[in-house]
Structure formats: C-alpha cells, structure tokens
C-alpha cells in the first residue's frame, strides 16, 4: 500500500515536471516571446534592454531553470494586462469558477439521478424512452449553442433571468460568492444549468445502466421475495449499490467541469478563470496563460492521484502495482 | 521463395476468420428507424456541403453580391433585387442559408480531416503497443492514460495557446486531443485478436512482422475503430465549433458553423435570433445524424450482437 502510494506520488511528480517542460518549450520555443512581449515600435537598444529585463537574452536552459525557480514560489511573472502577479489574477477568479462548477454538479445530480433511476426501473414506459432520447440530445447539443438559446429564451424573450455577469456578491470565507444573494443566484442559474446539461445526461445514463444491472441481482430478488416495500428496495438496496459508480464519476468529472466552464463563462460573461484564459489567449497575456495551464496540470494530476488512491482503499481487487 | 510462401500463407490465413457478409449487415443497419433517419440526415448534410456553390442563393464570400442595405433582415424577407432570404441575413447582409451551406463545408472538412489523422496516429500507436508489448507498450499506454486524464477542451486550449489561432491549428489541436482514444481502442481490440489462432498461424509461417500487423491484425481490428471514428467526427465538429465560437478557430473569410453562431451572439440581445439559431440547428442536425449512424454501426459491427 505504502509502496503504491509512493510510486504513484513519484509518477505524479514526474508528470508535472514533464508538463512544465512541455508548456515552457511550447510557449518559449514554438511561440516567439520576443515578438509577443516587446512593442515592435521600440528601437534596437530599447529592445535589448527589455529583453535583458525579461531574461530573454539568457540561454534556454537557464531560462527554464529560472522558470522552475519561479514556479516553486508560485511566481509566473506579472500579467501584461492587469500588471499584477499572474497567479493572483487567476486565484482571484477561482471562487467564481468553483461556485459555477459546484452548482452545475449539484443540478446534474439532482436532475440526473432520479430520472436515471426512473428510466432504469421502468424501461418500457413511454416516459422513460422520452427521457433517454432527451439524454441523447443532452450529449449531442453543442453546449455553447444551448447557452445562447437559454439567453434568447429566458433573458431576451421572457425576461425572467439576467444573462451577464455574477450579479450581487456577498463575502464568505474571504472570497466573494454569488449564491449568497438572491440577485447572485438569479445570475448563477442559467450558466450553471448550461454547464450541467452534459453531465446530467452522463449521470442519467450511468444511473440507468447501473439500475438495470443491480435489479437483476439476487439480493434484490431476495428483498422482493421477503416482501419488502418497493420504496425500501429502491432507496436502500438499489440506490446504495449505485452510489459507487456515481460518486466516482462525480469525482472524475469535476475537473472537466472546471475545464469546460471556459465555454459557459465566455457566453454568460461570468468572470471566472475560464473567461480569463480565453481573454488572455486573445490578448497574448503569456504569464497568465502559463500560470493557468500549470494550475490545470497540477489540478488534474492531483485529482487522478486522489482517485487512484481511493480505488485502492475501496476495492482491494484494483492492484495498481501490477502493470506500469 | 520466401515471399511466395508468405503470399500463399496470406491467402490461406486471411480466410480463417469468417468472411463478413456485406448485404445482410447493411440491411440490418437500416432496420432501425433511428439509423435510417441518421443516414438520411447525414446524406443531406454531406450533399448540402458538396453542392453548396450550386444550391446556395448567394456566394457569401463574394463581396460584390453583398448589400449592406440587406443586413439583419428577418427570415422570409426579400432582398432589394427580389432574391428571397429564407433564413434571414446577418449583420453584413449575408444570406444565412448560404452561410450555413458554405459553413458546413469548413466544419465537415475540419471534422473529417482531424478525425482521420487522429485515427491514423492513434491506431498505429495502439497496434504497435499491442503487438510489440514490453517497454513500448508500457510507455505508450502511460502516455495515453495521461492524455485521457485531461479533458479534450483543455488539451485543445493548450495547443492553441502555444500555436496561436487559426483553422490549421484547430485541426492540430483536435488531433492532439483525440488520438489517445483511438490508441486505447486499437490496443484493446488488438490484444484480444493477437491471441487468436490465425495470428499464431501467420507467425508460425514466418510472415514478416509488419505484414502480420497490416494484413492480418489491422483488418480484424477495424470494426471498433470505425465506430469510434464515426463518433469522433461528430465530437471534432462540435469541438471545432466551440473553439471557433471562442474566437480561437476559423477565420472570418472562411466561417465554419461555430463562427456563424458566434457572429449572431452580439445580435442576440436585440432579439435577432435567426443569425445564431439556424446555424446551430444545422450543427445539431449534423452531430445528431453522425451519432445516430455511429450508434447503429456499433450495434451492427459488434460481433456479440451478430445473431
């Protein structure tokens, strides 16, 4: 167990290291920082001075070392657009994205789980077929287009909900959150629903497949034979056995929600990390891009690490130290 | 002498797995109404894209044909010179229908090209991994695992952040984001096929490795790869549209469907719905049709469902 843990940790560390190399080489060798960073109107002497200031005249390996050095201290350089440390700019936006992703996950769970349960228990009913067809749409509909249609329907035509920004926020735990005010909640609803769409379909299908598998098992037949009430069979015997795959998916998909919030945030003008990275790519704000990419790498590597460890703890059959 | 033997063996050995009958499979494919619907939709979409210059009322790239007086007309209205705009016009006076027909071209080309190259790279990697085993396999599959642990959109953003915007870079980004799926599928199938007798027979006959790989292993691994490829075309089209919508993809002069939808974004709040709505419907029809066809292909090509 300890060996597995250590081996996994070393692998995770190695992956992060490899990704720093890729990101650094990508941004500094394939893209040309001199063209991106330096005002083309400057004369040769001024150019040289700026290059020296940014350390671009150094050999590549030394630049990489100083990049790594900055990394260990969370220093990615200052954003060109905001003139603040890049990491600060991103961390400021973190609560907005986190809030959006968590709400979306909640919606996906509250809608997807009961519908999936229903469709799995009564697969022959017309309503179940409708639910399953709907879930295909949930997979196929392009998220950004659905977002636009949400704005068109709820914000423009009906005028029920706002379509832009976070609305009023309230302070909690040192960050500002929208879900604490009614205005903020109204602003949060459409983007969260939009982001939740895909995951709802996913959880729905997973639940349905799980139910159909569990219903055939002996312990459910036995519970029926004992004359337990249907409610109890569904809520205790079936639901409990479903929770393992569903919880796994929630863990796995949370990271992807944060990544996909890029799209939703851009549509709804939600001032989170996703909108920031798109703006930064368009404005060539290199320090913010690098900081965001590195943050995502660390996030996903740690998420996978945690999930792997959970698997070993929960299910001794999963032997991680087998291959690779 | 050696090659002759190998040829003879090729013939003998490839006949070992039962020959696939084409007609019953096709009939079975169309026996599901959803698949029929998908196939018809797909044919319509592809036809529309191929014959776009012939059937579209206007060439949306020809500035001479555009009239700024015709901008933002509602669906069903007519131009100054009496040409009907069935789906309305956008901010530059471009006919939305023509825009969609031409946009389909860009979307389909990007989707198919990136899915094809990704399939090529991924399948090669997967087959090599399965066939060679050992270090190569471990390394390759570690790479695939790593890649698949990142969401596609993040991989695509990473590539675009490094390379910059543009259609070619979007294709590259999609390839980078998607090849791993093929590699995993190809390896999975090849691992099963590798253990079968006909491969063993081919090896015993000392047929060279590359030949076993290409002539014996590959054809028998194709079915699941084709299914994945079909689905991935839909995903690639969706991803391209998303990236274009975010302003990272297609150029203004060669709009894809995502770009057309993005164009309508600024008019949405003033209620000019058609600029975004109809290109979105076209995108939806394309993706759903491909998915329906792919879904059915999976059922038909899966040997477990053969009877």
Average pLDDT score over chain A: 80
The pLDDT of residue A33: 60
Minimal CA separation from B151 to chain A, in Å: 6
Q: Where are the domains of chain A?
A: 15-72, 86-317
Four-point Cα dihedral A204, A205, A211, A212, nearest 10: 150
Instruction: Please tell me which residue of chain A has the smallest CA distance to B249.
Output: A282
Residue B110 pLDDT exceeds 50: yes
Residue A23 pLDDT exceeds 70: yes
Average pLDDT over residues B225-236: 88
Q: Which residues of B touch A144 (CB under 8 A)?
A: 241-242, 245-246, 258, 261
**Count of CB atoms situated within 10 Å of the CB of B139:** 12
What are A42-91's pLDDT values in tens digits? 677 777 777 777 666 777 778 788 778 877 777 777 777 777 888 888 88
Q: How far apart are the first and last CA of chain B?
A: 42
The pLDDT of residue A54: 67
CATH number for the domain running over B2-305: 1.10.3720.10
Asked if the A86-317 domain carries CATH number 1.10.3720.10, the reply is yes
Q: Which residues of B touch A149 (CB under 8 A)?
A: 277, 280
Cα–Cα distance between A295 and B261 in angstroms, integer?
31
Yes or no, beta carbons of B288 and A140 under 8 Å apart: yes
Residue B9 pLDDT exceeds 60: no
Q: Which of A140, A266, A304 sits opposite B284 (nearest CB)?
A: A140
Tell me how many degrees the CA angle A309-A315-A319 measures, rounded to the nearest 5: 70
Answer yes or no: are the C-beta atoms of B88 and B100 closer than 8 Å: no
Lowest mean pLDDT among A289-293, A310-314, B111-115, B246-250: A310-314
- Residue of A281, A296, A298 best to disrupt the B interface, most CBs of B under 10 A: A281
What are B237-285's pLDDT values in tens digits? 988 888 888 888 766 677 788 888 888 787 877 767 788 888 888 898 8
Q: Which of B142, B161, B247 sits opposite A293 (nearest CB)?
A: B161
What are A210-247's pLDDT values in tens digits? 888 888 888 888 888 888 888 888 777 788 778 777 87
Size of interface A-B (CB pairs under 8 A): 112
Answer yes or no: are the C-beta atoms of B131 and B194 closer than 8 Å: yes
Most confident of A271-280, B28-37, B270-279: A271-280
Minimal CA separation from B154 to chain A, in Å: 6
Structure tokens given for B235: 């995903």
Minimal CA separation from A167 to chain B, in Å: 18
A103 band by pLDDT with thresholds 50, 70 and 90? very high
Average pLDDT over residues A285-307: 83
Strand ranges (DSSP E) for chain A? 170-172, 175-177
Q: Is the ipTM of this complex over 0.85?
A: no
Lowest mean pLDDT among B1-5, B203-207, B276-280: B1-5
**Between residues 200 and 259 of chain A, which touch chain B (CB distance below 8 Å)?**
255-256, 259
Residue A298 pLDDT exceeds 90: no
Q: Calculate the alpha carbon distances from B272 to A296, B73, B102, B267 in Å.
A: 37, 9, 21, 6
Yes or no, beta carbons of B283 and A145 under 8 Å apart: yes
Structure tokens given for B267: 């008019």
What are B39-58's pLDDT values in tens digits? 898 899 888 888 877 777 77
Cα–Cα distance between B190 and B221 in angstroms, integer?
6
A111 band by pLDDT with thresholds 50, 70 and 90? very high
B16 band by pLDDT with thresholds 50, 70 and 90? very low
Residue B13 pLDDT exceeds 70: no
Residue A322 pLDDT exceeds 70: no
Answer yes or no: are the C-beta atoms of A112 and A201 closer than 8 Å: yes
Q: Which residues contact B275 (CB under 8 A, 6 or more apart)?
A: B72, B88, B90, B91, B96, B260, B263, B264, B267, B268
Residue B5 pLDDT exceeds 70: no
The pLDDT of residue B304: 57
A165 touches chain B (CB under 8 A): no
The pTM (predicted TM-score) of the whole model is 0.81
The pLDDT of residue B91: 66
The pLDDT of residue B31: 78
- Residue of A144, A286, A291 best to disrupt the B interface, most CBs of B under 10 A: A144
């Amino acid at each position: 167990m300890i060996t597995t843990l250590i081996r996994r940790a070393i692998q995770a560390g190695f992956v992060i290291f490899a990704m720093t190399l890729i990101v650094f080489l990508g941004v500094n060798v394939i893209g040309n920082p001199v063209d991106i960073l330096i005002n083309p109107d400057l004369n040769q002497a001024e150019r040289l001075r700026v290059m020296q200031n940014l350390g671009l005249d150094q050999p590549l390996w030394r630049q990489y070392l100083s990049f790594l050095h900055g990394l260990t201290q969370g220093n990615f350089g200052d954003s060109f657009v905001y003139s603040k440390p890049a990491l600060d700019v991103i961390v400021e936006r973190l609560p907005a994205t986190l809030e959006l992703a968590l709400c979306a996950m909640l919606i996906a769970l509250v809608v997807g789980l009961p519908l999936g349960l229903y469709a799995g228990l009564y697969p022959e009913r017309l309503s179940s077929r409708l639910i399953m067809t709907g879930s295909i749409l949930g997979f196929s509909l392009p998220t950004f287009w659905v977002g636009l249609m949400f704005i068109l329907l709820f914000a423009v035509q009906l005028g029920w909900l706002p379509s832009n920004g976070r609305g009023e926020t309230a302070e909690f735990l040192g960050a500002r959150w929208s879900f604490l005010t009614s205005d903020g909640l109204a602003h949060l609803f459409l983007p969260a629903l939009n982001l939740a769409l895909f995951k709802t379909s996913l959880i729905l299908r997973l639940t349905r497949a799980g139910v159909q598998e569990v219903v055939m098992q002996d312990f459910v037949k036995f519970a029926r034979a004992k004359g337990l009430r249907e409610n109890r069979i569904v809520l205790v015997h079936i639901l409990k056995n479903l929770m393992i795959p569903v919880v796994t998916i929630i863990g796995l998909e949370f990271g992807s929600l944060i990544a996909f919030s890029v799209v939703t945030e851009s549509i709804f003008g939600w001032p989170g990390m996703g909108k920031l990275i798109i703006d930064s790519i368009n404005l060539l704000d290199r320090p913010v891009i690098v900081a965001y990419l590195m943050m995502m790498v660390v996030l996903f590597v740690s998420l996978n690490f945690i999930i792997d460890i959970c698997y070993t703890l929960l299910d001794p059959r999963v032997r991680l130290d087998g291959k690779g | 002498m050696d090659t002759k033997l190998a040829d003879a063996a090729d013939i003998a050995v490839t006949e070992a797995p039962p020959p696939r009958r084409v007609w019953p499979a096709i009939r079975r494919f169309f026996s599901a109404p959803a698949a029929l619907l998908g196939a018809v939709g797909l044919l319509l979409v592809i036809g529309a894209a191929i014959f776009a210059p012939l059937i579209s009322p206007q060439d949306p790239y020809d500035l001479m044909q555009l009239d700024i007086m015709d901008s933002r007309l509602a669906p069903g209205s007519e131009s100054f010179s009496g040409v009907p705009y069935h789906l309305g016009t956008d901010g530059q006076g471009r006919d939305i229908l023509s825009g969609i027909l031409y946009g389909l071209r860009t979307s389909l080309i990007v989707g198919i090209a990136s899915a094809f190259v990704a399939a090529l790279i991924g399948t090669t990697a997967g087959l090599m991994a399965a066939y060679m085993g050992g270090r190569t396999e471990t390394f390759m599959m570690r790479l695939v695992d790593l890649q698949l642990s990142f969401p596609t959109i993040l991989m695509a953003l990473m590539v675009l952040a490094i390379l910059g915007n543009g259609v070619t870079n979007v294709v590259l980004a999609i390839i980078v984001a998607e090849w791993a799926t093929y590699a995993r599928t190809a390896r999975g199938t090849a691992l099963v096929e590798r253990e079968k007798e006909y491969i063993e027979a081919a090896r015993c006959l000392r047929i060279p490795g590359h030949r076993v790989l290409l002539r014996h292993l590959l054809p028998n691994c194709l079915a699941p790869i084709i299914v994945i490829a079909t689905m991935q075309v839909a995903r690639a089209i969706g991803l391209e549209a998303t990236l274009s919508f975010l302003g990272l993809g297609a150029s203004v002069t060669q709009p894809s469907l995502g770009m057309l939808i993005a164009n309508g974004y600024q008019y949405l709040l003033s209620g000019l719905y058609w600029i975004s709505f109809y290109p979105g419907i076209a995108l939806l029809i394309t993706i759903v049709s491909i998915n329906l066809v792919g879904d059915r292909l999976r059922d038909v090509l899966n040997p477990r469902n053969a009877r």
